[in-house]
Amino acid sequence: MSVQPTATDPGSSLGADRVRYQRAGRLILNDVSVAAYPSQVLAVTGPSGSGKSSLLALLAGLERPDAGTVYRSAESPDVGVPPGYGLVLQGYGLVSVLTAAENVEIVLQGQRADRDGLLDRAEEVLEAVGLADVADHPVEQLSGGQQQRVAIDRALVTDPAVLLADELTAELDHVSRQRVLERVFGLAEAGSTVVLCTHDPELAASCHREIQLTNGTVTARR
């Protein structure tokens, strides 16, 4: 892969232009530019500590850059996750005292008034990733891989226009991995923008585009 000149691309739906980001006095990202496009899956790769998760947090609106610009849709807030975004973050962000189905149901609330309908839909998507038998279990009782699949289901259940995921396949077995990737790439085929931070070289190679970070800077693109 070769490093290419970058600039804010009006054809992309999501991106960053020359962003700089510090945390606790440490420079995490320096002069990073990236563009993500509808109907494509972008892989963000690099070693641990290279700034992948921080870049994802900036793109999601969870953090602000110290310099440079993060651009999303015109109606997106300056800070905060915009409507239509699905997130899978490290640690998953699940509500431990709720069941797997209830964690998925949370993002469906407001779309349908019938609580039974919400639970039915949540249980349906959990069944699709092999979690039907634990749908009514509190997530704190689930394994790491099961919790990850719940987090993925929660992000995908509304067919988001933008999906941002950190280490999507980290704790998944082969069968679960295939099921999840089929759904994620299907989402892109339907027109969504997908950005995946990953250490998985096979997954990165299957993505439409890739950006590689090293010590907070872009060192390669394809």
Mean pLDDT, consecutive 10-residue stretches, the chain (222 aa), reads: 43 87 94 95 95 95 93 64 84 86 79 61 74 87 88 87 92 87 94 95 96 95 90
Type of residue found at 163: L
Domain count, the chain: 2
CATH number reported for the structural domain that contains residue 209 in this entry: 3.40.50.300
Residues 49 and 106 occupy one common structural domain: no
* Predicted structure pTM score: 0.86
From the list 161, 52, 146, 160, the residue with the least C-alpha distance to 94 is 146
As a residue count, the chain comes to 222
Co-location of 141 and 181 in the same domain: no
Same domain, 79 and 164: yes
Residue 149 shares a structural domain with residue 200: no
Looking at the domain assignment, is residue 91 inside a domain?
no
Please choose, from the candidates 92, 105, 93, the residue with its C-alpha nearest in 3D space to the C-alpha of residue 136: 105
Q: Are residues 190 and 111 in the same domain?
A: no
Amino acid in position 110: G
Whether residues 80 and 27 fall in one domain? yes
What is the chain's percent helix, strand, coil content, to nearest 5?
Answer: 35, 30, 40
Residues 150 and 174 in one domain: no
For the chain, the straight-line distance linking the first and the last C-alpha, in angstroms and rounded, comes to: 5
Q: Which two tokens stand for residue 47?
A: 């070693």
What pLDDT, on a 0 to 100 scale, did the predictor assign at position 190?
95
